[in-house]
Amino acid sequence: MKTSKLVTVVHPDSKTRIALRSILEAHGCTVATDHSCADLLSDSGVRPNLILLDRSMLSEEGVGVLSRLNHK
């Protein structure tokens, strides 16, 4: 039996988050969404297999987000 992969989509635009969620769910993924990197970091119990993060958010919130995610 194939298990569903958990994907977290982080994007400031709600329409983009909804579209990506729909596409990923249609391919069998379980999807969580966050509005910002701060929201992503506060999701203490979530351990996704993949994080889709809008690149523009890194320049706004700093590349340190990636380092914090790695330690988390």
Lookup: tokens for 28: 């069998």
Q: Check residues 63 and 23 and name the one with the higher pLDDT.
A: 23
Query: H-type helices in 1-72, by residue range?
Result: 14-26, 37-42, 55-61, 64-71
Is the per-residue pLDDT at 71 higher than 80? no
Cα gap 71→64, rounded to integer Å = 11
24 confidence band (pLDDT: 50, 70, 90):
very high
pTM more than 0.75:
yes
Quote the pLDDT of residue 21.
96
Q: What is the mean pLDDT of the chain?
A: 82
Q: Whats the size of the chain, residue-wise?
A: 72
